[in-house]
Amino acid sequence: MVDTVIIGGAPLGRQQLAAVAAGARLELNAAAWSRIDNARAIVERIVANGERAYGITTGLGALCNVVLSPDQLARLSSNTLQSHACGVGEPLSIPLARALLTAQLQNYAHGHSGISPAVVQRLVDFLNLGITPVVPAGGSVGYLTHMAHAALPLIGLGEAWVEGERVPGGVALSRRGLEPLVLGAKDGLSLVNGTPCMTAFLAMALARAEHLAKWADVISAMSFEALKGQLAAFDAEALAVKPHPGALQVGANLRRLLADSANLSRHQGIRTQDALSIRSIPQIHGASRDQFTHIGRQVDIELASATDNPQVFGTPDDYRVVSQANPHGQSLGMAGDLLAIASAELAGVAERRIDRLVNPLVSGLPPFLLEDSGVNSGLMIVQYVAAALVAENKVLAHPMVVDNFVTSALQEDHLSLATPAVLKAHKVLDNVETVLAIEYLVAAQALHFFDAAALGQGSRAALAVIREHIPPYSEDRVVAPDITRTLGLLRDPLLLQRIETELGTSL
């Protein structure tokens, strides 16, 4: 794992964001601090000159034409955090909250926000000292509520996690020897403004989706083996005449995973072609991978962008203040909806393979994968569970970005709904992960009826992994704990790396 991530040179990468979310330290380099100092000097010049500039010397939203006196600006910043902190529901996970702070700092490092350097340093301190704001997951049409809650502990309000304990914000500060900050002009607006939360959440969701896409290839190869699939469907020359990159990658993965399978060699020609859930794995999994590639480009662009409003440019002696709409998250809202759809399809086709594995009418295997069926129900009901989760994903995958509301007295009359769209994608991924865990469990049980030494290289490796933790079924037992254990296997990156190492390639 990366020990320290440094912001200020090349734009923050998704892998670096994930490293900080997982606990790595973060630092800003001298160039970043120089840009932050310059932008802050511009804000202070605007205040000194008494100019009207949105959110610097005026109220917010529909109050953008209300000009405030200098002695009101610090109060405006503090009030902004408190009035905007109206989130609801269960809190974000600690990694998601840390990812939010990391993306915020990347945004400030561009030098167009004008936030006080002391505030930036305190956010760095939060990450490095293990203070994680408690941020309710619900209640945002864009970004304001999440970011307000994330900022409250800076001024001693709200709540934070410290060493696994949820405590008031002021207590969190005192445990690390810190005092509450006094915010200045524009600090409050900079803290609640921009796309860092939706960008961070999307980056983390995409990392999950890309990881699960690799497992989907591994697990589907096991199902293909158990169903005695016809390898012509993965022929390199045939796939090359429809050269979608994702399909070509998945086809190559399946050929590696199934290489040297004596089991499949014996069964070639037993049917003309397989059902689509078996035959079209490259086309289905590959289409999802292609969407993930597109989403990755959106995340990378956003991480390299300055996204709050207003933004300052130039120097304190020659500057511009620009009110614009860079905080609008339309690209990320569309990407979040697309991620939900593309991920849901991985589970949808997995459920179809699960059904074929447990169904003796098409599998050629014992009913529900137990020899002594009748008195034993075997793995009959886990297919029901998969179907229920796929049905839930159908609802969750409905796009959110196409909806719209009006907020702030007609001032904000088009909303991206990007943050809830991305958090909805996380719920879809929870279901996808569980369906793939069920397929892994079922496919492993199906392969129990084959000679393991005769399986393809990847199928053997994946079967060995699950058998180290979960024994095969010889009679009925409680299945839920096995699903939970299998989920743990899918979440362990070292196990996937182990399979890739045995294959000699990344999937």
Residue positions annotated with a catalytic role: 54
- The gap from C-alpha 423 to its chain's centroid, in whole angstroms, comes to 8
Of the candidates 304, 247, 327, 295, the residue with the CA atom closest to the CA atom of residue 425: 295
Using CA atoms, how far apart are residues 299 and 180, in angstroms rounded to an integer?
A: 33
Look up residue 412 and give its DSSP letter: B
Of the candidates 97, 220, 221, 231, the residue with the CA atom closest to the CA atom of residue 166: 97
User: Phi, psi (5° rounding) for residue 279?
Assistant: -75, -30
Q: What is the dihedral of CA 357, 361, 363, 364, to 10 degrees?
A: 140
Look up residue 364 and give its DSSP letter: -
* 3-class SS letters over 178-221: CCCCCCCCCHHHHHHCCCHHHHHHHHHHHHHHHHHHHHHHHHHH
First to last CA, the chain: 20
Q: Other C-beta atoms within 10 Å of 322: how many?
A: 13
Q: How many CA atoms lie within 13 A of 443 on its CB side?
A: 35
Residue 90 near residue 137, CB atoms below 8 Å: yes
